[in-house]
């Protein structure tokens, strides 16, 4: 008999974090524990904030499928019961972990993916150019992700690039630009050595990207939630940022990654904040990606037990005690 335990918790950030139109002070997470034959599988999700997901809404969704989950539903059937989002993510990842524990196989054996050395970007939040330059100087390793909006983006990115000429820099606009801004700024960003621009235009307002040939890759985040949106995204973007909270779990994420790789679309894996328990399944997807952005736990006041380690940008693989 399988039993499901659900808990909604609050993870506080060490300092407020600014992006386009929003300031984060923490994140609500849903924790799922599935127990069967003496083994326990776990999953964690933060949900999708721009779809108004929170701890209470994820908890309600997960409760709605309790009977099916406890009756033994598998991951594929789960995709038909819940929409993509945080609740399905947490349950899906708990099912993967449970299968690993029951079978005595690692997540690498279950997926057929080989783990390798993985370096993660660390994020510079939206502040004044001077503060962002100082922030960039403090980041160990050579991978920096920069949050920008429509106010002074060139001044800000120039300050970061000049402060860290040794680093690979990518930019996340969180839907904060117009197409005219993108067309004007992209050549200058390319000249500064920026490697990629993520989600410059609003979700649902990026039609102008069809036929546009940018001087550097443009990556879909909010504009590609799951496999149902892949075909449209593939016409408009050169890369896709996969986040398990968006896809509704590792199962859908691996499907999306497979489709993108078949079409020659570049991949990034990202996160919606959360503890190392949320990063662990995303680490699997990271093995298929050009860019990895799994720095969420760095900004939390407290991480979970058996946490991932971050050393000069190098991210450790999850241990079985954590997940998978």
Domain boundary among 55, 80, 104: 104
Tens-digit pLDDT profile for residues 241-288: 999 999 999 999 999 999 999 999 999 999 999 999 999 999 999 999
Find the largest Cα–Cα distance for the chain: 60
Q: Are residues 93 and 122 in the same domain?
A: no
Counted domains in the chain:
2
- Close Cβ partners of 258 (under 8 Å, ≥ 6 residues apart): none
User: Helix-strand-coil percent breakdown of the chain, rounded to 5?
Assistant: 40, 25, 35
Nearest to 154 by CA among 138, 136, 177: 177
Burial of 296 (0-12, 13-18, 19+ CB in 10 A): buried
Residue 121, helix vs strand vs coil:
coil
Q: Are residues 18 and 84 in the same domain?
A: yes
Is 77 within the bounds of a domain?
yes
pTM, to two decimals: 0.95
Is 324 within the bounds of a domain?
no
Contact 5, 35 (CB under 8 A): yes
Tens-digit pLDDT profile for residues 64-111: 999 999 999 999 999 999 999 999 999 999 999 999 999 999 999 999
Q: Are residues 144 and 31 in the same domain?
A: no
- Which residues is 177 bridged to in the sheet? none
- Look at phi and psi of residue 109 and say left if phi exceeds 0, alpha if psi is from -120 to 50, else beta: alpha
Q: How confident is the model at residue 30 (pLDDT cuts 50, 70, 90)?
A: very high
Is 323 within the bounds of a domain?
no
Q: How confident is the model at residue 302 (pLDDT cuts 50, 70, 90)?
A: very high
**In CATH, what number is assigned to the domain containing residue 177?**
3.20.20.120
The CA-CA-CA angle for residues 240, 244, 245, to 5°, reads 110
Domain boundary among 43, 69, 104: 104
Q: What pLDDT was estimated at residue 20?
A: 75
Residues above pLDDT 70, as percent of the chain: 100
For residue 173, the enclosing domain spans 118-315
Q: Where are the beta strands (DSSP E) in 20-167?
A: 22-36, 39-45, 118-119, 122-124, 143-147
Is 151 within the bounds of a domain?
yes
Is 110 within the bounds of a domain?
no
Q: Are residues 145 and 63 in the same domain?
A: no
- Under DSSP, the state recorded for 317 is P
Q: How confident is the model at residue 23 (pLDDT cuts 50, 70, 90)?
A: confident
**In CATH, what number is assigned to the domain containing residue 84?**
3.30.390.10
Is 29 within the bounds of a domain?
yes
Q: Are residues 206 and 75 in the same domain?
A: no
Tens-digit pLDDT profile for residues 175-225: 999 999 999 999 999 999 999 999 999 999 999 999 999 999 999 999 999
Q: Are residues 149 and 94 in the same domain?
A: no
Examine the pLDDT at 22 and tell me if it is beyond 80.
no
Show which residues are catalytic: 147, 243
Examine the pLDDT at 17 and tell me if it is beyond 80.
no
- Under DSSP, the state recorded for 22 is E
Is 173 within the bounds of a domain?
yes
Q: Are residues 127 and 185 in the same domain?
A: yes
Residue 63, helix vs strand vs coil:
helix
Task: Tell me how far apart the alpha carbons of residues 149 and 173 are, in angstroms, rounded to a whole number.
Answer: 5
Is 320 within the bounds of a domain?
no
Angle separating helix axes 55-64 and 86-103, nearest 10 degrees = 60
């Amino acid at each position: 008999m399988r039993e499901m335990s659900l808990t909604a918790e609050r993870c506080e950030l060490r300092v407020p974090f600014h992006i386009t139109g929003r300031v984060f002070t923490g994140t609500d997470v849903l924790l799922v524990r599935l127990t069967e034959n003496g083994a326990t599988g776990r999953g964690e999700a933060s949900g999708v904030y721009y779809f108004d997901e929170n701890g209470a809404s994820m908890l309600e969704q997960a409760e709605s499928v309790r009977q099916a989950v406890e009756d033994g539903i598998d991951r594929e059937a789960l995709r038909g019961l819940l929409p993509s989002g945080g609740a399905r993510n947490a349950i899906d990842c708990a099912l993967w972990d449970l299968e690993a524990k029951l079978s005595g196989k690692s997540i690498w054996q279950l997926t057929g993916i080989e783990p390798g050395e993985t370096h993660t970007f660390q994020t510079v939040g939206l502040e004044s150019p001077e503060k962002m330059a100082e922030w960039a100087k403090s980041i160990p390793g050579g991978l920096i992700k920069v949050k920008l909006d429509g106010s002074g983006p060139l001044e800000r990115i120039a300050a970061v690039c000049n402060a860290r000429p040794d680093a690979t820099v990518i930019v996340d606009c969180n839907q904060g630009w117009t197409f005219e801004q993108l067309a004007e700024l992209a050549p200058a960003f390319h000249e500064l050595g920026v490697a990629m621009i993520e989600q410059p235009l609003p979700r649902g307002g990026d039609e102008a990207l069809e036929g546009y040939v940018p001087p550097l890759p443009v990556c879909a985040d909010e504009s590609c939630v799951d496999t149902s949106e892949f075909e449209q995204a593939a016409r408009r973007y050169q890369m896709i940022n996969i986040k398990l909270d968006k896809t509704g779990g590792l199962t859908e994420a691996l499907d999306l990654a497979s489709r993108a790789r078949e079409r020659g679309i570049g991949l990034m894996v990202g996160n919606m904040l959360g503890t190392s328990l949320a990063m662990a399944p995303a680490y699997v997807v990271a093995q298929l990606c050009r860019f990895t952005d799994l720095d969420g736990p760095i900004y939390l006041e407290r991480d979970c037990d058996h946490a991932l380690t971050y050393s000069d940008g190098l991210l450790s693989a999850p241990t079985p005690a954590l997940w998978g």
